[in-house]
Amino acid sequence: MEQLLEILRSMHPDVDFSAAMDLIDDGILDSLDIVTLVTEINSVFDVTIPAEEIVPENFNSADALMALINKLDEE
Amino acid sequence: MRFTSYEFLGFLVLLFPLYYLVPKKWQWGVLLAASYLFYAFAGWDCILFILLTTLSSYGVACWIGWRASAEETYLACHREEMDKERRKAYKAKEKKRRFHILLLGLVFNFGILAVLKYTGFAMSGFNQILNVIGQGTLEIPDLLLPMGISFYTFQTMGYLIDVYRAKTKVERNPARLALFTAFFPQLVQGPISRHSDLAEQLYMPHSFDRKEFIFGLQRILWGYFKKLVIADRILIAMKTLLADPEEYRGGYVVMLILLYSVEIYADFTGGIDITIGIAQALGMKLRENFNRPFSSHSTKEYWNRWHITMGSWFTDYVFYPLSVCKPMMKLSKWSRAHLGNSLGKRVPVYLATTVTWFLTGLWHGAGANFIVWGLLNCLVILVSQELEPLYARFRRRFPNLSSSNGYGKFMAVRTFLLMGLIRSLDCYRNVGTTFRLWGSMLTVWNWGELPKGMLRLGLGVADYVIILGGCLIMASVSVMSAKRGLRERLYQHPVLSWVLCGGLLIAVLLLGAYGIGYDASQFIYDQF
Amino acid sequence: MKRSWMAVFALGLAVILSLSLFGCRKTEDNEASGGHFSVQYKGVTLEIGQPAEEVLKALSDPVSKKEIGDCGGLGAQVRYDYSSLILYVLESKDGAVIDQITLTDDLVATEKGICIGDSQDKVKEAYGNVIQSDGSRLVYTSGDNQLIFEIKDGKVSGIDLMQITQ
Amino acid sequence: MNLKKRILIAVCAILVITLILSFLQLLVVPKYRSNPEGAMIGEYYDQAGGHDVIFVGDCEVYESIVPATLWEEYGISSYVRGSAQQLVWQSYYLLEETFRYEKPRAVVFNVLALKYGTPQSEAFNRMTLDGMKWSTSKWKAIQASMTEEEHFLDYVFPLLRFHSRITQLTAEDFQYAFDAPAVSQSGYLMQTNIVPMTEAEEEGRTLSDYTLPESAMNYLEQMRLLCEKNGAELILMKAPTNSWAYWWYEEWEEQICTYAEEKNLSYYNFIPLCEEIGIDWNTDTYDAGVHLNVYGAEKLSRYFGALLQSAHHIPDRRSEAETSARWQERMDAYRKQKIQLEKE
């Protein structure tokens, strides 16, 4: 989880990701950030997030992201 | 049949009562018939292509749906003897096969679009190469371009991809899918709806709701006001300016940029208001295609507020798949290894953005200027992405200035002008001329003769006053409706709403640029 | 794996090719064989439907000019007599357009070099087999223009270039 | 805010909006003061009835026939329903409408309009048709005259056509919005100035086709049958003009003569009769030979009146009190306008 927060912070240092609950809906993360995030996660956590998983529900908070990563990991 | 023709108004006047009188279960049938009648006005032979697209996507969607259910039943009944590994391999194989079926549908339909819309462009490009090596030229066939082909093709392909991603259920009834593809209000210029949003609404019976119906009519009237009174009036001056770009240089180019920004806003949002208004009068909710675009502070934000459904289509179906597909993953690993982490991280994103914007430009029109328009937008977005840390430091150093209202206004004006500049590529349709004229804005200084010159473009002082008044009305409506729906508030005061609507109706009939004096032009986006 | 990729693309290409061949072309308007008719006079090419302003400026001033307004005062027919041709111009609120050209002597020729006095056969040889020949005239059409040769005992006695009126 | 109140407000609002729109329509519709040719058709209705001869046709008719002279010299009560470039089907439908108001003994039609077989110009259509009162005849006339760019709705609601004039309104538009004085004398448009015809006559230009359009001749035939049905005698005439722009070709003359003989109608071509009528192209034309001015028109009317009385037995009604009282007014108006115009 810590690694994920660290990646997020490197993109937007002034945002408190641990608490934020709607990163997409509030427009904090836009399409460019999402893609950078996905490529980072794929390389760091060695999973491949398919395009259909890139939906607001999965990216709105760090926890949701972590849940997605774990799901992809043990599938 | 254009939105601004008597035939279309007659068509609506007949459709609405019929739609609400016919038994509920036949309502969607009436819509389907109306949509194909509307389409037939554009030409019988175009119907062939929209049918081709509808049937092909119906077939492909059913095939994918059938494969998916076959996979589930197979997995269900062989659950015990298949361990995790074999089940994973089987699922991957099935997904690959479904992907091929999807690819078949995409290639076929995008093939139609490419052949009908871009052969001319491709061949003229090819001819240029031939001329260079002196081999003479190919004869370019003048192919028929069915109305709204770009819009309905994208909408059905979105449906196919959603079916492949199991985001929406497969439509078993071809007639229902035909209605989804050819729903007449959005045929002309979108919005590009998603099957999961629109499908249910289309087939659900709708009982007459007086409030929704009145809101719909009000929005249609508002669309016609923007379109006929403002957009088509400006078009008169623009036609003169564009007829002879060499003569109207310097200050005129600036005027053209300003006029075109207002004209395209009024024309496009007007058309979309008519579309959404018709849908609302029929009891349906279409996605908003604009969200006060001229108040955006950056180009990125602008493209989240202008032609939203197109932007989200390209993001969901081109940008994301492109940036997470296997070759891109390999590329990002390679670039991370060789170019170091910070640069390597950017390569896949920038490549995906550039390709997406190239396709967006190409989608807008078969012309080099559209592609350059797309790439310029991409360049601005990527540059501002790069400058992000610089902006962050600036905001930290001057916190009160950067959060002040004035700075916000400055950024909005800057984005408005920048977008206007790039958008003028649409007008001049030739990249060379456009760049030359951009240059002339700085070199040629003819602001002195501008006041007289502008009156020679076919518009009198009264016309410019009407345009200015129109802009003020549009701005104030946009500000008022930002907080809470304007029509909602007006509904409480029927007298006031009748006065305003009556005023709008009189303004449209009296000041509209329509009829024999003017030839009310097509929507700018109409030639898609 | 390879085979299915190839199948998909082959089918796609076949579809595109068939489409482009079948590609429903717009119905080409059947351009008549004759090119556009025109007359060369004092270095200026005169054509029907051409805006009259520049042409009148380019030609030196005419021998005579007669203008007749129409009843409602909405437009006018103007007749410019030059040394070897007459130019009829139609003026209306959206500008002045050349409506008809009548050649009056053999100093001016059509774009295929036919002048007054040439033989009937020379006309047929230049403009191809006769499309319309009613008695003493040879009439050729191209687009919405018409070229009429009056024939008197085997020789061209008058040449007229005009729009086909319904 | 109950429903009944909302509906009441809605009805009132719609009423007010319609009132405003109809007032705006009256405002923007052209008043045709500077070019009176557009205002003449509408003036017939308040003088309708009691005419023995009705003239229909284009500018040649309303510039060469003076009903006042016909009355003064022969007691013939007549009216000219002419308008600018009136096409033959428009004349037919005008006649159809006129027969509903009165039954004249004779109808005179000027044959020049037979050269047009298809709709010509939107502006002339409006000048002829907007003045007509709404009837099936007007509806059919519009259908027959519309060019491609025109819409039937633009005739039903002239505001849709003339709305762009809102930015060019003049005092005239406000002054004559509700009613306007007549511009013509029983359909005759008086022209007093003199512009002599200078050079020798030139021939008209060569035509691609000298046969009169079939559609036009069909309407002429229908006009003949219509007159027969209504007990009126159709007389054909060709007003005297002497200009290359409105040249009367011999081929056309032959076709009209053969048609007239076939249907035994009387046809008077006044061009060769100019000397006999006494028309002098130096004093009797206001535009160098294209149309007659008032002096020429009076001469022609005097000549034609004699013909109408002798050959077509049009009665002399000067003895009838009621008709002559009506005509007395018209004669005063005619003389007053003539004096006034000659002063200008």
Is the pLDDT at D72 greater than 80? The verdict is: yes
Q: Which of B523-527, C16-20, D339-343 has the highest mean pLDDT?
A: D339-343
Domains of chain A by start residue, with CATH: 2-74 (1.10.1200.10)
**pLDDT (mean) for B331-357:** 84
Domains of chain D by start residue, with CATH: 36-146+182-343 (3.40.50.1110)
Percentage, residues of chain D above pLDDT 90: 72
Phi, psi for D185 (deg, rounded to 5): -100, 100
Which residues lie below 8 Å from residue B259, measured CB to CB, with a gap of 6+? B234, B237, B238, B241
Residues C125-136, buried b or exposed e (16+ Cβ, 10 A)?
A: eebeeeeeeeee
Could you read off the pLDDT of A16-63 as tens digits, one per residue? 877 778 888 877 788 888 888 888 888 788 888 888 888 888 888 888
Chain B partners of A43 at a C-beta cutoff of 8 Å? 332-333, 336
DSSP-assigned letter for residue B73? H
Q: Check: CB of residue B250 under 8 Å from CB of residue B241.
A: no
Does C72 contact D209 at a Cβ distance shorter than 8 Å?
Answer: no
Q: Are strands D233-238 and D106-110 parallel, antiparallel or unpaired?
A: parallel
Which residues lie below 8 Å from residue D25, measured CB to CB, with a gap of 6+? D157, D158, D159, D162
CATH number where C82 lies: 2.60.460
| Pick from B221, B141, B186, B174: nearest CA to B60 | B174
Q: Would residue C16 count as lying in a domain?
A: no
Question: Tokens 């945002």 correspond to what residue?
Answer: A15
Q: Check: CB of residue A17 under 8 Å from CB of residue A47.
A: no
Closest Cβ–Cβ partner in C8, C15, C23 for B143: C23
D5–chain C Cβ distance below 8 A for any pair: no
pLDDT confidence of C1, banded at 50, 70, 90? very low
Q: Are strands C76-81 and C64-69 parallel, antiparallel or unpaired?
A: antiparallel
pLDDT confidence of D148, banded at 50, 70, 90? confident
Chain D partners of C89 at a C-beta cutoff of 8 Å? none
DSSP-assigned letter for residue D167? G
Give D175 or B83, the one with higher predicted confidence. D175
How would DSSP label each residue in B243-310?
A: H-TTTS-THHHHHHHHHHHHHHHHHHHHHHHHHHHHHHHTT--PPPSBS-GGG-SSHHHHHHHBSHHH
Q: Which domain holds residue C83?
A: 39-163
Predicted confidence at residue B522, as pLDDT, reads 41
Q: Which residues pair with C98 in a beta bridge?
A: C89
CA distances for C61 relative to B41, B491, C103, C161, D198, angstroms = 51, 70, 17, 21, 20
Based on the number of CB atoms within 10 Å of its own CB, is B127 exposed (0-12), middle (13-18) or buried (19 or more)? middle
Which chains are adjacent to chain A, needing at least 3 Cβ pairs under 8 Å?
B
* Rounded Cα–Cα distance for residues C79 and B48 (Å): 52
Is the pLDDT at D4 greater than 80? The verdict is: yes
Could you read off the pLDDT of B218-251 as tens digits, one per residue? 999 999 999 999 999 999 899 888 888 888 888 8
B101: nearest CA partner in chain C: C8
Predicted confidence at residue C27, as pLDDT, reads 42
Please provide the average confidence, as pLDDT, over all residues in chain D. 91
Predicted confidence at residue D61, as pLDDT, reads 93
Does D84 contact C72 at a Cβ distance shorter than 8 Å?
Answer: yes
Closest Cβ–Cβ partner in C12, C26, C28 for B107: C12
* Rounded Cα–Cα distance for residues D242 and D197 (Å): 9
pLDDT confidence of C132, banded at 50, 70, 90? low
Q: Where are the beta strands (DSSP E) in B8-113?
A: none
Residues D208-219, buried b or exposed e (16+ Cβ, 10 A)?
A: beeebbebbbeb
Chain C partners of B48 at a C-beta cutoff of 8 Å? 24
Domain count, chain C: 1
In total, chain C counts a number of residues equal to 166
Q: Would residue C65 count as lying in a domain?
A: yes
Chain B partners of D150 at a C-beta cutoff of 8 Å? 516
Predicted confidence at residue D201, as pLDDT, reads 67
Could you read off the pLDDT of B109-143 as tens digits, one per residue? 999 898 888 888 888 888 888 888 877 677 777 77
Q: Where are the beta strands (DSSP E) in chain D?
A: 53-57, 78-82, 106-110, 233-238, 266-269
Within 10 A of B79 (CB to CB), how many other CB atoms are there? Answer: 9
> How far from each other are the two terminal CA atoms of chain D, in whole angstroms?
66
**pLDDT (mean) for B505-511:** 94
pLDDT confidence of B403, banded at 50, 70, 90? confident
Q: Are strands C137-142 and C95-103 parallel, antiparallel or unpaired?
A: unpaired
Closest Cβ–Cβ partner in C74, C79, C166 for D244: C79
Q: Check: CB of residue C97 under 8 Å from CB of residue C49.
A: yes
| Pick from C163, C159, C141, C161: nearest CA to C150 | C159
- Hey, is D246 helix, strand or coil? helix
* Rounded Cα–Cα distance for residues B331 and B337 (Å): 10
Which site among B213, B228, B510 would you substitute to test the D interface, given the most D Cβ atoms closer than 10 Å to its Cβ? B510
**pLDDT (mean) for B371-397:** 88
Is the pLDDT at B386 greater than 90? The verdict is: no
Q: Are strands C95-103 and C85-92 parallel, antiparallel or unpaired?
A: antiparallel
C165–chain D Cβ distance below 8 A for any pair: yes
* Rounded Cα–Cα distance for residues D44 and D51 (Å): 11
Does A49 contact B304 at a Cβ distance shorter than 8 Å?
Answer: no
Q: Would residue C147 count as lying in a domain?
A: yes
Query: How far from chain centre, in Å, is Cα D92?
Result: 12
* Rounded Cα–Cα distance for residues D69 and C37 (Å): 52
Q: Fill in the amino acid letter for B503.
A: G
Predicted confidence at residue D157, as pLDDT, reads 94
Q: Fill in the amino acid letter for D130.
A: D
* Rounded Cα–Cα distance for residues B332 and B338 (Å): 10
Q: Would residue C7 count as lying in a domain?
A: no
> How far from each other are the two terminal CA atoms of chain C, in whole angstroms?
67
Is the pLDDT at D102 greater than 60? The verdict is: yes
Please provide the average confidence, as pLDDT, over all residues in chain B. 88
Residue D306 tokens read as 């004699």
Could you read off the pLDDT of D221-244 as tens digits, one per residue? 999 999 999 999 999 999 998 788
